């Protein structure tokens, strides 16, 4: 175990918790371990990596509305591998920061309450982040906690891009496009600047394709547009979420079809997307192996909608110099990247099939006017960097 100062990061999903362990010094935060708690299993499982060593164990505390026992047992398990007394702070990913939070903050009772007020805007993720924040506060009351917001990176978007064609009073009340996956998009913007500074200085679209998915239009590394808008339902189809949808469909389902609001919410978040179209699975790995027509149609629809959204964003940017694929699907599934890029030849995208098959990192041909990359994202690194910046400013 090391006696150096440590920093933990918590990246809460709807059914998982990614944990990052970072050693802090004058050079910043360097990852020394990572963990994954799976809340979908009983008992809960913890997969822990420390350098080349891998450990799998169970957490016997019950997950639910109160995560205090889960966090206590998780800290105890981590303490067998790391000096938990050296932990300086815990940094959290919080999906929605609304209009108030446009950068990382140190958490206190007031800010926690303000984050709670935004739960209705991100019902799939916000409650879990709040449970974790409160559980850590109960276990280690004096431990500093920070929040990094997925929406904050998109605060550079213009008012025009963020506006819906709704009465102005609603926009003034906060009914607008916020954008999400900002931590991932921020990491890619930074990483691309290090790898290909000329491309990064231009007009780039980042495709964060995982079970949740969004596209972000970057100009000089700053967000100018995002496929997700007011909620994490918007944009391109996802594993179980619908993506962009004619609001007339919702009126029809709530009116003539008699659906309840709760039933509609459950369908849009959990039974739509690739799962809904295929009727088989929301996992593209399953669909790519399945020969049924419905599986193929779900994949084709995903590629069609992503390509179409890239075309729309190219219009926002006024051109396109680069595309970056990232996250689980974007990093690991060449068939889907090829299907998307095949629909973008009119934009100048020319894919190198061999490079794409091995996941790059550059998967476009040397003659392609649109440089296309595969870059692994790291949201936890951004959370750690932002946590350090908050603590350093105090």
Examine domains 6-149 and 197-374 and report if their fold is the same. yes
List own/partner pairs for 79-83 with CB under 8 A and 24 or more apart: 81/1, 81/33, 81/48, 81/50, 81/55, 82/1, 82/2, 82/6, 82/21, 82/32, 82/33, 82/50, 83/1, 83/2, 83/3, 83/6
Q: Which two tokens stand for residue 308?
A: 């179409």
What is the sign of the dihedral through the CA atoms of 170, 172, 176 and 181? negative
d(CA 72, CA 104): 25
The whole-angstrom distance between residue 22's C-alpha and the CA centroid of its chain comes to 20
Q: How much is the pLDDT for 38?
A: 83
Instruction: Confirm or deny that 246 is annotated as ligand binding.
Output: no
Q: Where are the beta strands (DSSP E) in 95-220?
A: 105-106, 144-149, 203-209, 213-219
Q: How much is the pLDDT for 2?
A: 45
In this predicted model, what pLDDT tens digit does every residue of 240-285 receive, in sequence order?
999 999 999 999 999 999 999 999 999 999 999 999 999 999 999 9
Instruction: Confirm or deny that 81 is annotated as ligand binding.
Output: no
Q: Can you list the residues of the chain whose pLDDT is less than 70?
A: 1-4, 14
> What's the CATH code, domain 197-374?
3.30.420.40
> Which of 3.30.420.40, 1.10.760.10, 3.40.50.720, 3.90.1300.10 is the CATH number of 6-149?
3.30.420.40
* Cis bond upstream, residue 106 (ω within 30): no
**Domain regions of the chain by residue span:** 6-149, 197-374
371-374 and 322-326: which strand pairing?
Answer: parallel
Instruction: Confirm or deny that 211 is annotated as ligand binding.
Output: yes
Count the neighbouring beta carbons within 10 Å of the beta carbon of residue 62: 13
| Residue whose structure tokens are 């067998």 | 80
The catalytic residue positions are: 150
Instruction: Confirm or deny that 332 is annotated as ligand binding.
Output: yes
């Amino acid at each position: 175990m090391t006696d150096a100062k440590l920093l933990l990061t918590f990246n809460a999903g709807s059914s998982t918790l990614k944990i990052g362990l970072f050693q802090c010094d004058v050079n910043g935060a360097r990852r020394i371990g990572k963990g994954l708690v799976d809340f979908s299993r009983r008992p809960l499982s913890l997969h822990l990596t420390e350098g080349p060593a891998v450990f799998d164990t169970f957490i016997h505390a019950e997950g639910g509305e109160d995560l205090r026992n889960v966090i206590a047992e998780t800290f105890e398990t981590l303490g067998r591998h790391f000096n938990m007394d050296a932990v300086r702070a815990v940094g959290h990913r919080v999906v929605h920061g609304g209009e108030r939070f446009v950068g990382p903050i140190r958490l206190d009772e007031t800010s926690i309450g303000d984050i709670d007020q935004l739960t209705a805007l991100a019902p799939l993720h916000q409650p879990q982040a709040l449970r974790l924040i409160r559980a850590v506060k109960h276990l280690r009351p004096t431990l500093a906690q920070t929040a990094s917001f997925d929406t904050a990176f998109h605060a550079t978007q213009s008012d025009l891009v963020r506006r819906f064609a709704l009465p102005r009073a609603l926009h003034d009340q906060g009914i607008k496009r916020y954008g999400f996956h900002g931590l991932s998009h921020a990491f890619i913007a930074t990483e691309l600047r290090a790898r290909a500074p000329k491309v990064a200085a231009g007009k780039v679209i980042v495709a964060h394709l995982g079970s949740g998915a969004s596209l972000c239009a970057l100009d000089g590394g700053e967000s100018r547009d995002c496929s997700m808008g007011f909620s994490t339902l918007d944009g391109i189809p996802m594993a179980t979420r619908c993506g962009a949808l004619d609001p007339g469909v919702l009126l029809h389902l709530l009116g003539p079809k008699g659906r309840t609001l709760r039933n509609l919410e459950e369908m849009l978040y959990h039974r739509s997307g690739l799962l809904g179209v295929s009727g088989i699975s929301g996992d593209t790995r399953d669909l790519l192996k399945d020969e049924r027509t419905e599986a193929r149609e779900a994949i084709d629809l995903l590629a069609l909608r992503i390509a179409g959204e890239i075309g729309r964003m190219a219009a926002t940017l006024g051109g396109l110099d680069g595309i970056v694929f990232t996250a689980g699907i974007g990093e690991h599934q060449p068939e889907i990247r090829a299907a998307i890029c095949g629909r973008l030849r009119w934009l100048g995208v020319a894919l190198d099939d061999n490079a794409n098959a091995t996941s790059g990192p550059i998967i476009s041909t040397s003659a392609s006017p649109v440089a296309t990359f595969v870059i692994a994202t790291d949201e936890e690194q951004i959370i750690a960097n932002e946590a350090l910046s908050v603590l350093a400013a105090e």
